[in-house]
Amino acid sequence: MELTTVWFLLITVLFTGYFILEGFDFGVGMLLPVLGRDDRERRVMINTIGPVWDGNEVWLLTAGGAMFAAFPEWYATLFSGFYLPLLLILIALILRGVAFEYRHKRPEASWKRRWDAAITFGSVVPALLWGVAFANIVRGVPLDANHEYAGGFFNLLNPYALLGGLTTTALFLTHGAVFIALKTTGDIRHRARKLATHTGIAAIVLAGAFLTWTLSIRNTPAAIVLAVVAALALAAGVAAAHAGREGWAFTGTALATGLAVITLFAALFPNVMPSTLDAAGTLTVDNAASTPYTLKIMTWVAVIFTPIVLAYQGWTYWVFRKRIGVTHIPN
């Protein structure tokens, strides 16, 4: 297997891990004003992701770094053409991180409400815009023969991309609700499980429409199989949530999220950014890649450090695996 293909697969894995892990804590943030009836319940919700949310974002940083080093042409075109939506995502993530740190610094209810709103905003914006961005990558964007983006911001707000944004938002809401049900006790657990069933139905409809549209644009046998399995996993996850089996429900929504991302990359390969203007402008794993020597060095680094990072993050989730409830939150 060529190193360009290896690094395409590794970037796929990194974005898959990011969407699975960051997906549920985006969902928790979006549901903060919905499920959190008082400050103690909102603190419970925040505490379910408190030990892990910043570690989840490392997957995005690593994916971006890998893209920059392995496929610099892809990185440059993506970040110049998608500058505004990516900037909005960055601002939202910064605001969200600050809100987690500052919310508890003062006791006033008004102070906490403002930071709660910041957490919600910082969760909704990335959940929506990541779907828009990845849908545009798969659909193709106007690139000229020099691989430079020739469109504007509103070119990115096409119906297919907006459907992609709604799909990721609904999927993360469901994933987050299931995670809250899995990690909490008492009344909030039951309300989260019930809500996951309702948002899950919407996610099934949106995801089904989006994946069908995706396969009508670009399809490979692998992408078709992955899309079907992703849809089945989501349906099974929602059914498990309805039955009160939170562990199986979370497994289903995690698989659905991950397989949906893999489906997009499978439909894209061997392209990394198709051009809708000129076939010569399409970026592929070959014409967007770094030199073979660079890829070889990066591969050795990845082989050494990737297992260490995975082991550390797995240990973190194991340590903070127990359920929490309002009884654990002091007045």
10-residue block means of pLDDT along the chain (331 residues)? 89 94 94 90 91 88 90 90 91 94 88 93 95 92 85 85 95 96 92 94 94 88 90 94 92 95 92 86 89 90 86 87 80 68
Quote the domain boundaries for residue 38.
5-139+149-328
Rounded Cα distance between 226 and 208, Å, is: 12
Q: Is there a domain that residue 144 lies in?
A: no
Rounded Cα distance between 241 and 6, Å, is: 36
Report the CATH number at residue 154. Answer: 1.20.1630.10
Tell me, what's the pLDDT at 324? 86
Q: What pTM did the predictor assign? A: 0.93
Domain total for the chain? 1
The residues pairing with 324 across neighbouring beta strands, listed in sequence order, are: 184
Tell me, what's the pLDDT at 2? 86
Tell me, what's the pLDDT at 278? 79
Rounded Cα distance between 20 and 175, Å, is: 8
Rounded Cα distance between 241 and 224, Å, is: 26
Tell me, what's the pLDDT at 321? 85
